[in-house]
């Protein structure tokens, strides 16, 4: 049994209507709590926000949705259904990878389709290696999900369970690139199954092999796109919460927490004072700690993940070789990670994620127009250019990226741009994200599992944290889990639900 909040918890205020806050809200409502949600923006979503620009409907946050059963679990807590609220489109291929040598690989989540694609790309030996890798990824996921991802930790001693031995036997505490290399020799293929370490903020050469579970989510479990854009997910969660009785208050910024001893008694906004029995805080860690007036002591300073420059571009044309998600790899690899995590320089030979959501949902752009989201990882402001430097650097780097995309086959892209929005580390920092990164604390060994900032903060009896800075970590699936874990700190763990029928339907639709 994990620790839960003492005392009365009838009315909970959730600060932030992002994915973590909305997940916590639905699970709390399902357990019979009264919930008030306070959000500074005029709409739900948090990082998964929406920008309407010249007829383009732009997702301002994540563009990749995996593990929809975790979202379904949140809806099911209030007797609702993700499937009823959101149309999810399985993406085929999940990604298209384009390499500096001109080769292309479509990443399929169906085992037979991917085996055939790997054989075409790199031969039968690599195809056999892929099948062994897929089996390992599935076993790795089973060993981690229940005890290490979907679990609250009160102490490192909570690691001591039978799944720890299974994870060790699977090589989960080795290095990611070395473990992937046991299955695949082709360096291009190894990139496809290890680039996800960047989400965790650690180069594949230094990342724990356990983080291949992110590759499982991307390449085995399936990649989906909500009709209407990623923002459709938090919008639907907010609607479900409202229908289940939540009081959602948008456009209110929390200014302070009132306390009586070790308990928070009210949340004060720029418009209201809301008495409460408990509070869930989802802002980035520095903001949450400032509101609490408590910062946990850590033997080492938190290390943050790399950041990203994102160019949202509405264009009057597109390029047929792009899939919904296209990974455009440069020739460099190890040096790229050194630049992002050690030297603090912009990528000299960038690897980029290009998302074209209008491939799947043309309604996100005006008729005959297209929407492209170009993400370039970059150093965070702790080790790279500071926020002030990005005022001049941002527009120049935007031009550099467009020239590089032109060189990689997106002919005439600069002239094609009709509307655009450039997001830099300065933008993330202004939104309250530490070190100018939306990816929060890196998943180093010292910042993973029970060593990650916990969702309970010593010195406050009735406050819980949720979001990517706390347990279990970064990414849409894990952020949804963080909201569930925060709710469990208040209500106690819910009974294990059966596999949601809608989630099974998604799997059948995706062919997995």
The whole-number pLDDT of residue 122 equals 97
The whole-number pLDDT of residue 501 equals 43
The whole-number pLDDT of residue 238 equals 98
Looking at residues 249-263, what average pLDDT do you find? 96
The whole-number pLDDT of residue 233 equals 97
Q: How would residue 344 be classed by pLDDT, with cut points 50, 70 and 90?
A: very high
The whole-number pLDDT of residue 492 equals 86
Cα→Cα distances 387→336, 390, 508, Å: 21, 5, 46
One-letter-per-residue 3-state SS of 122-168: HCHHHHHHHHHHHHHHHHHHHHHHHHHHCCCCCCHHHHCCHHHHHHH
Q: Is the pLDDT of residue 497 over 80?
A: no
Each residue's pLDDT tens digit, 313-331: 999 999 999 999 999 999 9
Q: How would residue 295 be classed by pLDDT, with cut points 50, 70 and 90?
A: confident
The whole-number pLDDT of residue 504 equals 43
Q: Is the pLDDT of residue 464 over 70?
A: yes
The whole-number pLDDT of residue 250 equals 97
Looking at residues 196-223, what average pLDDT do you find? 86
Q: Is the pLDDT of residue 366 over 90?
A: yes
The whole-number pLDDT of residue 156 equals 60
Q: How would residue 189 be classed by pLDDT, with cut points 50, 70 and 90?
A: very high
155-159 contacts at long range (C-beta below 8 A, 24 or more positions apart):
155/450, 156/449, 156/450, 156/451, 158/2, 158/450, 159/449, 159/450
Q: Is the pLDDT of residue 84 over 90?
A: yes
In 3-state terms, what secondary structure has residue 308? strand
The whole-number pLDDT of residue 71 equals 96
The whole-number pLDDT of residue 162 equals 65
The whole-number pLDDT of residue 502 equals 42
Closest C-alpha to 144, from 124, 163, 116, 118: 163
Q: Is the pLDDT of residue 206 over 50?
A: yes
Per cent of the chain over pLDDT 90 is 78
Higher pLDDT, 177 or 511: 177
Q: Is the pLDDT of residue 373 over 90?
A: yes
Sequential DSSP letters for 168-235? HHTTTTSBHHHHHHTT---HHHHHHTTTTHHHHTS-TTTSBGGGGHHHHHHHTS-EEEETT-TTHHHH
Q: Is the pLDDT of residue 462 over 60?
A: yes
d(CA 480, CA 73): 9
The whole-number pLDDT of residue 59 equals 96
The whole-number pLDDT of residue 161 equals 64
Looking at residues 105-130, what average pLDDT do you find? 97
């Amino acid at each position: 049994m994990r620790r839960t909040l003492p005392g009365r918890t009838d009315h909970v205020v959730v600060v932030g209507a992002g994915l973590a806050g909305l997940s916590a809200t639905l699970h709390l409502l399902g357990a019979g709590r009264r919930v008030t949600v306070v959000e500074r923006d005029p709409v739900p979503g948090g990082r998964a926000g929406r920008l309407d620009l010249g007829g383009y409907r732009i997702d301002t946050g994540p563009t990749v949705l995996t593990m929809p059963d975790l979202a379904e679990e949140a809806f099911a807590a209030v007797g609702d259904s993700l499937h009823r609220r959101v149309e999810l489109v399985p993406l085929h291929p999940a990604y298209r990878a384009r390499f500096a040598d001109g080769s292309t690989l479509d990443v399929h989540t169906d085992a037979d389709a991917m085996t055939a694609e790997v054989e075409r790309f790199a031969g039968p030996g690599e195809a056999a290696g892929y099948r062994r890798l897929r089996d390992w990824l599935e076993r790795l996921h089973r060993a981690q999900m229940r005890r290490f991802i979907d679990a609250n930790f009160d102490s490192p001693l909570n690691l001591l369970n039978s799944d720890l031995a299974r994870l060790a036997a699977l090589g989960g505490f080795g290095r990611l690139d070395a473990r992937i290399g046991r299955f695949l020799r082709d360096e291009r293929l190894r990139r496809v199954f290890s680039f996800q370490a960047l989400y965790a903020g650690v180069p594949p050469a230094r990342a724990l092999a356990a983080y291949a579970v992110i590759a499982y989510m991307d390449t085995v479990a399936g990649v989906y796109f909500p009709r209407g854009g990623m923002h459709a997910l938090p919008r639907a969660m907010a609607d479900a919460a409202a229908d289940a009785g939540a009081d959602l208050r948008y456009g209110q910024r929390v200014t302070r927490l009132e306390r009586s001893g070790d308990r928070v008694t009210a949340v004060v906004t720029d418009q209201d004072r809301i008495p409460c029995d408990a509070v869930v805080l989802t802002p980035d860690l520095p903001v949450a700690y400032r509101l609490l007036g408590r910062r946990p002591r850590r033997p080492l300073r938190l290390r943050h993940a790399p950041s990203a420059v994102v160019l949202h571009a509405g264009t009057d044309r597109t390029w047929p070789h792009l899939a919904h998600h296209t990974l455009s790899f440069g020739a460099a690899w190890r040096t790229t990670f050194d630049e992002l995590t050690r030297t603090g320089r912009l990528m000299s030979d960038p690897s980029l994620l290009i998302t074209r959501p209008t491939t799947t949902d043309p309604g996100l752009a005006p008729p005959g127009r297209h929407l492209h989201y170009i993400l370039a990882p970059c150093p965070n402001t702790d080790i790279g250019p500071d926020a002030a430097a990005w005022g001049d650097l941002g527009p120049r780097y935007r031009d550099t990226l467009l020239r590089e995309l032109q060189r990689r086959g997106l002919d005439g892209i600069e002239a094609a741009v009709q509307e655009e929005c450039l997001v830099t580390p300065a933008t993330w920092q202004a939104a309250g994200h530490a070190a100018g990164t939306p990816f929060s604390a890196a998943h180093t060994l010292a910042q993973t599992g029970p060593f990650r900032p916990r969702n309970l903060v010593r010195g406050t009896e009735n406050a819980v944290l949720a979001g990517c800075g706390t347990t279990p970590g970064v990414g849409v699936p894990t952020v949804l889990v963080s909201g569930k874990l925060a709710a469990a700190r208040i209500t106690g763990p819910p009974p294990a639900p059966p596999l949601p029928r809608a989630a099974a339907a998604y799997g059948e639709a995706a062919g997995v």
